[in-house]
A and B are shown apart, each in its own frame.
Chain A
Amino acid sequence: MNHARARQVAIALVVSPALVVAGLAYDANARRAAKANDAAAIDALARRLPTSDLALSGGARWLRAISLEEPGAAFADGPASPDPDPAGAAMAPPIELWSASQRQR
């Protein structure tokens, strides 16, 4: 590899993260723009669903609607399977509200 060639390759390698970041940001923007076309559909659908939680753990009802299920339900999705949420999918109840209400009583 001659000196000029080595210099070009070296410069390309040094700036490669910036090029990759720019490329990925462009691709991400394009995908987000395509997804924006679904916004109206998602909005219409979400009004018919009990929650906007994602259907990622349909086999486990305590994880299906993580924002609405019982707080502190600690189970794995299946026997002997790793538990992705050992403390349950804790949607913490508004503790400050409960405690404020208790104090008032």
Chain B
Amino acid sequence: MKMSILAFALRALARRKARAFALGGGLAFAVALVAAVVFMTESLRAEAERAHAAHPDIVVQRLVGGRPTTISSADAARLAGIASVRNVTPRVWGYVFLPSLQGNVTIVGTAKNAPPLSIANGVLAEGRDIAPGAHEMIAGTELARFLGMRPGDELGLPTTNADAHALKLVGTFRSSLDLYTADVLICDEDDARALLVLPPGDATDLAITLSNPAEARVVARTITETLPGARVVERDLLARVYHLAYGRRAGFVLGASIPAILALLVLAWDRASGIGPDERKEIAVLKAVGWSTSDVLWAKLFESLLVGASATALGLLLGYGWIFWLGAPGLRPALVGWSVLYPRAALTPAVDVAQLLGISLAVMGPFALLSIVPAWRAATTDPLDTMRT
């Protein structure tokens, strides 16, 4: 019996094609927009957390006037004596503004004992790792492409230090790692120091590895006491940073989408506020030919379910396709920032079945239930009265 009512509901929708398409189209659009923002935010957050494990347990910076400044390598020796600190590495990195790019590149100095990068370990697309003291560099694919450089080419980066050498490109990162390397230029620590005009004995920050990462909070407190005014960044807090940063951006995009969401609410209100004279007459006829109130309510519920389910399915498909198949045109700049060097690597979905079902039920549930009250009102009215009006 229910199957027959379901078939009847579909044919009833077919009789009111324009309204069903307007309602379903609006709903599908709203679902696609919300789903796309959720898919992309989750994907970016997961991408940022993917390299989280390789991050030092603690990073220490020195603040002056509330802004990070260089830290003395002598402070590294003071921190090395703290219990549970296994290793303190002064790091040299920073930014250089390229006028031709109208943007910053991130210069990263390589410490002497750094693990090697190669084509074999999947990091480099071509070339090899830098050799210490040879004034060489590895650049992101995107950066190298933008500068028109190929391995073997040399580049003199703008700096106020006359002693800084031009750097020879000896390798490029794989394009699938673009999200981490699009604007990165890795060179020898001495070259980085010269380019960034960092005095000997100073470092950008200190990376600390602990024997027991679970003691990070205790060690952080000791560092704060040892170096008053130092900014201590714990690895475990980074997940919160990514949630804050991408959650906030997603919030802004969703905020800008309020008109679309409002359109959805208006459509829902249209369902809640009652049914039209044609539908009212149809219900009266159904009652007159022997349909029970329960049958009528099932028919109206099925109508809403058919529109809601197909619109949700279409919306999810559109949202997913927009982000992961088409590369999120239009939405990507809003969520990833306004950089000159856009990472082109495809995003990896982080969404799971529970989230997909959550979005589906959050849309379909209220939408289907909203149809019950007006249908019940119409179904409990005397059919003769309805047909006479």
A residues touching B (Cβ–Cβ < 8 Å)?
1, 3, 6-7, 9-11, 13-17, 19-22, 24-25, 27-28, 31-32, 34-35, 37-61, 63-73, 77-78, 81, 84-85, 87, 89-94, 97-98, 100-101, 104
B residues touching A (Cβ–Cβ < 8 Å)?
3-4, 6-11, 14, 44, 47-55, 59, 61, 63, 66-68, 91, 93, 95, 102-106, 108, 110, 114-115, 117, 121-123, 140, 173-174, 176-184, 186, 204-205, 207, 217, 220-221, 224-225, 228, 231-234, 237-238, 240-242, 244-245, 248-249, 252, 302, 305-306, 309-310, 312-313, 316-317, 320, 324, 334, 336-341, 343, 348-353, 356-357, 360, 364
6 further A-B pairs in the complex, CB-CB below 8 A; given A1-B10, A17-B316: A17-B364, A32-B349, A42-B50, A42-B51, A47-B54, A59-B104
Query: How many cross-chain pairs have Cβ atoms below 8 Å apart between A and B?
Result: 270
Q: Contact: A52 with B48, CB < 8 Å? A: yes
Q: Contact: B338 with A50, CB < 8 Å? A: no
User: Which of B117, B121, B180, B221 contacts A54, CB < 8 Å?
Assistant: B180
User: Which of A55, A71, A97 contacts B180, CB < 8 Å?
Assistant: A55
Q: Distance in Å from the Cβ of A14 to the closest Cβ of chain B? A: 5
**Given the complex of chains A and B, what is the CA–CA distance between A77 and B233 in angstroms?**
24
Q: Contact: A44 with B182, CB < 8 Å? A: no
Q: Distance in Å from the Cβ of A60 to the closest Cβ of chain B? A: 7
Q: Contact: B252 with A45, CB < 8 Å? A: no
Find the B residue at minimum CB distance from A23.
B317
Which of B44, B184, B228 gathers the greatest number of chain A CB atoms within 10 Å?
B184
**Given the complex of chains A and B, what is the CA–CA distance between A43 and B183 in angstroms?**
18
Q: Contact: A28 with B351, CB < 8 Å? A: yes
